[in-house]
Structure formats: C-alpha cells, structure tokens
Structure 1
Amino acid sequence: MTTTIQERATVDARRLISSELRATLVAAVRGKSPVLTEEKAERGVGQMLAFVAASARSDKTLSPSPLVDDFWHAFLLHTKAYQDFCEQTFGRFVHHQPGFLDKSEHGGKALRERTVDVITLAGYELDMEFWPELNLADCTQCHAGCSDSPNGPKTV
C-alpha cells in the first residue's frame, strides 16, 4: 500500500486587497523606509495581510513582528480602506491593541511562534524574512562564540 501525502496549497495574502491599495501601502511604507525595495515591501504587505487575517480568525492572542507591525500601521493610517477591508473580509473590525500583553503568558518568541503557526494553519504563505526573531537562539550560555560565552569576543 502506498500512502500519498499532498501538501496543502498556500494562499498569497496579497490577493486579499486590490493592486491599487497594495501599491498605496507599498508607497507609504517605502516613504518611511526608503531602503526597502519595492519587491520586499510588496512581500511585507502580504505578510501583514496574512497576520491580520489569521488574527481575525484566531481566538488566541497573536503578535506581529516589528517589521510586520510597520506594514500594519501603514494600513491603519488609511482608516477608511482598513475599515472597509476588515468589514468585507472578516465581517468585523480587527483592532490593533499594542503592547500591554502579560509577557509571562504572551511573551516573545513563544508568541511569535504561535502567530506563524496560526498563519500557516490558516493557509497563508509565510515569508520568514519578516519574522526574524524566530531564528534567534534561546540560550545565554551555549559556548558557541556568543557574546556572553567563554568562547565569545573578549572586552576589556
């Protein structure tokens, strides 16, 4: 007996908004961060939309990466477009509630891991360049040359 495993196709969240609105958001973010290429800004809009869509459908607290949050802020500043998007796509407004999470319950890397898991389970493409803190080690004494390791750089 042969078992076939099919990978589930992912959705590019950029398709959730019009190309005109996408271009507006790309321009807004690039206006504040001119070092961003247009291509990376396009991908960032997609990651923000995937995050907002996953948040709208999740009963758990999720948190964007700082970079994804920059894209969300750009969308929030276009209040009518953001409100219309939320109402049309989710049937309700998705609020941005920054900062006041209990770190012991919703802290750091664990929360971001949950966030990317929920985005993935919702079927959206994930671009790990926009979630860089998930690539950081959770160690303080790995002795692999880190700054606080005995093998790390010496400072006098």
Structure 2
Amino acid sequence: MTAACTTGPQKPPPPGALALRPTNPRALLSDADFNAVMHTVLDNNPGMEPGIAGRIVVDVLAFLATAAATAEPLVPSRVVDEGWHALILHTSLYQSLCARLGGFIHHVPERPDPGQRSHDDIERTVAAIEAAGHPVDRDLWRGPEDSVVPVAANCQHSGPEGPIVIIPKPKG
C-alpha cells in the first residue's frame, strides 16, 4: 500500500543543530511567520474563519514536532494536513522549521481512498502528540470521513506502515 501524505528521506541537520522540542507548538513560529501560514490556509479555504485557520496551524506544528521526535508512524487528519500543505508552500520557513526539529519531514501525497483510512490511525497520532506534551484540538482530529471543518486538502495519509519519513530517523 502506498502511503498517503508521507515524508521521505531527509538530510541530517548540520553539525551543532539543536533539535527543538517545545511544549507550546505555537512558539515554533514568529508571529509574522505564523500569520503568513495562517493566511495561506485562509486563501486556500474561502469562507474559513481566521480562528479556525490559526487552530489548524497550531496543530500542524504540534504534529510535525511530534513526528520529528518519534520513530512511530504518524498521520495527520485531513484538516491538519491542510495546515501542513500551507506550511510547505513557505519553503524557506518549512526547511528552517524542519532543521530546528532535527530533520526534514517530507510530504508524499496520496489520493484519498476511504478504504485505506482508519480512525485508529488518527487516534494513535493524537495519543502520540499528547504524550509528547502538546495540546490537541480534537475538533481538528476527527476521522477521515468527518467534514465538521471543511478544507480544500485532497490527499490523505495511510496507516501505520510509514506515511511520515523523517531524515535522519529519530532514535526511539
């Protein structure tokens, strides 16, 4: 099975790079950078409230910080994936964030296939994020079929066989 939105091989961080593990994922971006990513989410989702877009960006930061720190395969919800897509469009910012997290997190999209998605995958990811000490906005982490928060993202992340690839691979 091909992984949906996944990460691929990453370059190791430069010597002396410090992997950043904040408990407040919002602190990973400056206000200007956070607002730039939030506005990309808004641009891609006409009619979305700014507060929802901000919540999406916070949760994608928590997701990425957790993914970079664990060898466990994690998957974003469709809503959180929208934030990941927006962040990736800010290429320099995304590269810098990944370096500070300890390794580049590649995104490999897969077309949605409800038969390959499981609410258990989302719950496993939420549990990992919470175990890492990050808050989780549960309204953004509903199952793959849920549309409480409609988003434009049209890709998915499949099960535990590795939709996220961190380079270098975290020890764990």
> By the TM > 0.5 criterion, same fold?
yes
Structure 2 residue aligned with 1:79:
91
Preserved CA contact (<8 Å) 2:88 2:94: yes
Query: Which of 87, 93, 98 is matched with 2:104 structurally?
Result: 93
**Runs of at least 5 residues in structure 1 that lack an aligned partner in the other structure:** 1-9, 137-156
What TM-score does the superposition give when structure 2 sets the normalisation length? Answer: 0.65
Structure 1 residue aligned with 2:132:
122
Preserved CA contact (<8 Å) 1:83 1:93: yes
Question: How far apart, in 1, do the equivalents of 2:54 and 2:96 lie?
Answer: 20
Preserved CA contact (<8 Å) 1:113 1:134: no
Q: Which residues in structure 2 correspond to 1:33-112 (within 5 Å)?
A: 33-88=45-100, 90-99=101-110, 107-112=117-122
Question: How far apart, in 1, do the equivalents of 2:143 and 2:47 lie?
Answer: 20
What fraction of aligned residue pairs are identical, expressed as a percent?
33
**Runs of at least 5 residues in structure 2 that lack an aligned partner in the other structure:** 1-21, 147-172
Displacement after TM superposition at 1:58 (Å): 1.4
SS in 2 for 1:63: coil
What TM-score does the superposition give when structure 1 sets the normalisation length? Answer: 0.71
Displacement after TM superposition at 1:37 (Å): 1.1
What's the CA shift string for 1:106-133, capped at 9, x where partnerless? 8511111110010000100110110121
SS in 2 for 1:94: strand
Displacement after TM superposition at 1:135 (Å): 10
Structure number with bigger Rg:
1
Question: How far apart, in 1, do the equivalents of 2:102 and 2:117 lie?
Answer: 29
Change (3 A) 1:12 1:34: farther
SS in 1 for 2:143: helix
Number of residue pairs matched by the alignment: 123
Question: How far apart, in 1, do the equivalents of 2:110 and 2:26 lie?
Answer: 26
Preserved CA contact (<8 Å) 1:22 1:45: yes
Question: How far apart, in 1, do the equivalents of 2:133 and 2:71 lie?
Answer: 17
Change (3 A) 1:78 1:69: same
Q: Does 1:18 align with 2:37?
A: no
Displacement after TM superposition at 1:134 (Å): 8.2
Q: Which has the higher helix share?
A: 1
Preserved CA contact (<8 Å) 2:66 2:129: yes
